[in-house]
Structure 1
Amino acid sequence: MEQSGTSTLLQGAVQDLASGVVSALRGGDHTRSVLPAGTDGEAGDLALAAVRVLGSDALLPALLLRTPPDPAEVAVFRKAVEAYPPRADAAPTVRWSHWGMARTLRRVDPAVTAGPPDEPGTGWLDEAGWQTLTHQLAVLAPLALPGEDCAVSRLAGCHPVDVARGFVRAVRRRDWRQAAGAGRWLTLLPAVPDTVGLASGLDFVELMGGQDPLVALHVQAARLMRSGARV
């Protein structure tokens, strides 16, 4: 299969998976199967790659609705974690995404007894401007979970005004994915300026970009967290 064709198929698989997560979150249906059942052959490889791209959010209904996922889904998620470890030259966001998946796997899988892996670190963000910071946090939006502490969430908590500026900028630029990811973080951050109008801002982001399941996923996650959902 040509690389461009593979990329298109993967994008479609990620969109389908995200749509399933959104439906489960909106309906509160924690029993609905979201992850693919089969992981054999070429189709199975594509399914696992889609889970890896979506990261921890592949099991977001189980986390935010606080209900154990189906063991078969846990097995698929574990296989995706094991099949796609970050390479030695992987970008920091890739390393953090994998770390987040490992953290989620420990939470949902009683068979995992190993301690938490070392955090990748946030050195590449320490001196980042607010535009870059917002972009990178939006990429790492699956780490934005209530009550879950890590170096990325602590760094974000030190920059609520910067993330708020980035959220507004993303809305003005019609970058709905970045706006949704930044808005998800803002839901958890302290001292977010009231002038941001986060609730109405998220409504607008959903209205304009909500046909993209990845946008809808972050907006729905933010709404659940604003309503008091915990992991």
Structure 2
Amino acid sequence: MEQSGTSTLLQGAVQDLASSVVSALRGGDHARAATPGVVDSDAGGIALAAVRVLGSDALLPSVLLGTPPDPDELAVFRKAVESFPPRADAAPTVLWSHWAMARTLRRLDPSSAAGEAEPGADWLDGASWQVLTHQLAVLAPLALPGEECAVTRAAGRRPVDVARGFVRAVRRRDWRQAAGAGRWLTLLDGVPTTLGLEAGLDFVELMGGQDPQVELQVRAARLLRAGAPV
């Protein structure tokens, strides 16, 4: 029962944080990763875990819009990176998510000593288009212009497969996967013009936009299509 309650609290914290990021991307209040001064309490532990779940997108407004991160927000983000190192047997998506957070931390805080070797991405080359799309949606925070890595190169080699995965996710009403795939498609060359990505993103937002994590990815995709400064 206690574990279930903690899981519910974490899910709520992730949604709240995603809502804050969406608000900031829309030009509203600055996103806050956690309330300052609670990072050592139980509530602070949940906040740190929420940052880890959302990954580097927790600081997406600073990355996409070029706004300096709030010092308290940056401190919480740094602590989340330090508090949740991936295990040696962690899944590739966990390794890459942690790597992306460390890269974002170095970008926004050049004095940070957070340095991580880039994981491998060979598993994506042999993945079916369905699995590829699922994995890329999980790693949507890596979809940033000018930020090349092994995952972005793997995605760049298979734009048609990602487009097929986007359509499949929409048909399955998997709005989070569709939104994440749509974010990648905004950056890839060779996406079929018949896909109708703009209309597709509008539909994903209409149907799944009540979920802040869907809205975050759709908002990011639109900023990328508009040429957000990165």
TM-score range, shorter chain: over 0.9
- In the TM superposition, residue 113 of structure 1 has moved relative to its aligned partner by 4.8
Q: Which residue of 2 aligns with 1:34?
A: 32
Identical-residue share of aligned pairs (%):
76
Alignment of 1:176-187 (within 5 A): 176-187=175-186
- In the TM superposition, residue 33 of structure 1 has moved relative to its aligned partner by 4.0
For residues 121-156 of structure 1, what are the alpha-carbon distances to aligned partners after superposition, in whole Å with 9 as ceiling and x for unaligned? 112222101000000000000100111110000100
Alignment of 1:66-215 (within 5 A): 66-113=66-113, 116-215=115-214
Find runs of 4+ consecutive structure 1 residues off by over 3 angstroms: none
Separation in 1 of the partners of 2:124 and 2:193? Answer: 25
Separation in 2 of the partners of 1:96 and 1:230? Answer: 23
Q: Which residue of 2 aligns with 1:65?
A: 65
Q: Which secondary structure state, in structure 2, belongs to the residue aligned with residue 135 of structure 1? A: helix
Separation in 1 of the partners of 2:57 and 2:31? Answer: 14
Separation in 2 of the partners of 1:119 and 1:110? Answer: 18
Which deviates more, 157-166 or 122-131? 122-131
Separation in 2 of the partners of 1:154 and 1:168? Answer: 21
1:19 aligns with 2:19: yes
For residues 152-205 of structure 1, what are the alpha-carbon distances to aligned partners after superposition, in whole Å with 9 as ceiling and x for unaligned? 001000000000000000001100000000000000000110111000100000
Q: Which secondary structure state, in structure 2, belongs to the residue aligned with residue 188 of structure 1? A: coil
TM-score w.r.t. length of structure 2: 0.96
| Number of residue pairs aligned between Structure 1 and Structure 2 | 228
5+ residue gaps, structure 2: none
> Contact conserved, 2:130 with 2:165, CA < 8 A, in 1?
yes
Separation in 2 of the partners of 1:110 and 1:159? Answer: 33
For residues 202-230 of structure 1, what are the alpha-carbon distances to aligned partners after superposition, in whole Å with 9 as ceiling and x for unaligned? 00000000000000000000000100013
One-letter amino acid of the counterpart of residue 102, structure 1 = A
One-letter amino acid of the counterpart of residue 141, structure 1 = A
Separation in 2 of the partners of 1:11 and 1:72? Answer: 22
- In the TM superposition, residue 5 of structure 1 has moved relative to its aligned partner by 1.1
TM-score w.r.t. length of structure 1: 0.96
Q: Which secondary structure state, in structure 1, belongs to the residue aligned with residue 26 of structure 2? A: helix
Separation in 1 of the partners of 2:8 and 2:180? Answer: 23
Q: CA RMSD in A?
A: 1.2
1:8 aligns with 2:8: yes
5+ residue gaps, structure 1: none
